[in-house]
Copies of this chain bind each other. A is one copy, B any other.
């Protein structure tokens, strides 16, 4: 790693001006050192701001918690709520294989909980009714961020019933069926504990969508699905109108 000082030793000198007759490199060196000090100051203010924002978020997370619990009780009365909601989401819908959908028929509730202690820790818990696929009632995937921003991932190790393990491909050859579900099943995502591809401080896309889109307002997607079915034709028409218009009035909702 080069320090700011080392960087200062190789400036572009063509239109640079030294200060007070000092050698050009020394003047530049001083400026870059000063800049680094100011940057450190800004970083400190940003850290303080981040902590204050986190405080606010934790406070409201506590306020939301009992409301989410009440919401889950109501959702359980709506048949296939989470299956419909997942299928209606443009990205999550793509992720659910046929097998996933059969398993999601047994998904009773979802819970997303942000931890109070660490800077960013989020667990997603899926609760299932008795089902022919695995023994577990609850499956939990947790993302924890260490102080340096590194994310680590823990998941329940699913106890698949015999011949039902769709993640590790053990059912793939049954009945001559060659489907390989390893890359694109919800349960492959769920079982993936590898955090090496994660950007510092960020969860993967699926976890992020569940936490930031599905969990805050699942009804939006649940309702969306049926809208699409009904109004597909009109939608196409109005899209074309908007394109021709080009007045900058429409927003990208996709």
Nearest Cβ on chain B to A149's Cβ, whole angstroms? 7
Interface positions of A from 51 to 109, Cβ below 8 Å from B? 52-53, 56-57, 59-60, 63-64, 67-68, 70-71, 74-75, 77-80, 84, 105
Q: Give the number of copies in the complex.
A: 2
Nearest Cβ on chain B to A85's Cβ, whole angstroms? 11
Per a CB cutoff under 8 Å, which of B45, B71, B253 touches A35?
B71
Contact A77 to B27, CB < 8 A, known contacts A46-B216, A53-B53, A71-B42: yes
A15 / chain B contacts, CB cutoff of 8 Å: 79-80, 105
A60 / chain B contacts, CB cutoff of 8 Å: 45-46, 48-49, 52
A80 / chain B contacts, CB cutoff of 8 Å: 12, 15
Per a CB cutoff under 8 Å, which of B71, B200, B252 touches A197?
B252
Q: Contact between A67 and B41 (Cβ–Cβ < 8 Å)? A: yes
Interface 9-mer from A113-121, A180-188, A243-251: A243-251
A31 / chain B contacts, CB cutoff of 8 Å: 74, 77-78
A4 / chain B contacts, CB cutoff of 8 Å: 219, 223
Contact A67 to B79, CB < 8 A, known contacts A149-B251, A199-B251, A253-B200: no
Nearest Cβ on chain B to A247's Cβ, whole angstroms? 7
Interface positions of A from 159 to 181, Cβ below 8 Å from B? none
Per a CB cutoff under 8 Å, which of B53, B59, B226 touches A57?
B53
Per a CB cutoff under 8 Å, which of B38, B39, B56, B79 touches A12?
B79
Chain A residues packing against B (C-beta within 8 Å): 1-2, 4, 7, 10-16, 19, 27-28, 31-32, 34-36, 38-39, 41-43, 45-46, 48-49, 52-53, 56-57, 59-60, 63-64, 67-68, 70-71, 74-75, 77-80, 84, 105, 149-150, 194-200, 216-217, 219, 222-223, 226-227, 230-231, 246-253
A198 / chain B contacts, CB cutoff of 8 Å: 251-252
Interface centre among A63, A223, A251, A252 (most CB of B within 10 A): A251
CB nearest neighbor in B for A196: B248
26 residue pairs A–B, Cβ–Cβ below 8 Å: A2-B230, A4-B223, A10-B226, A14-B79, A15-B79, A15-B105, A27-B77, A28-B77, A28-B79, A39-B217, A41-B67, A42-B67, A42-B71, A42-B216, A46-B60, A46-B64, A49-B57, A49-B60, A52-B59, A53-B57, A195-B248, A197-B252, A198-B252, A199-B252, A200-B251, A200-B252
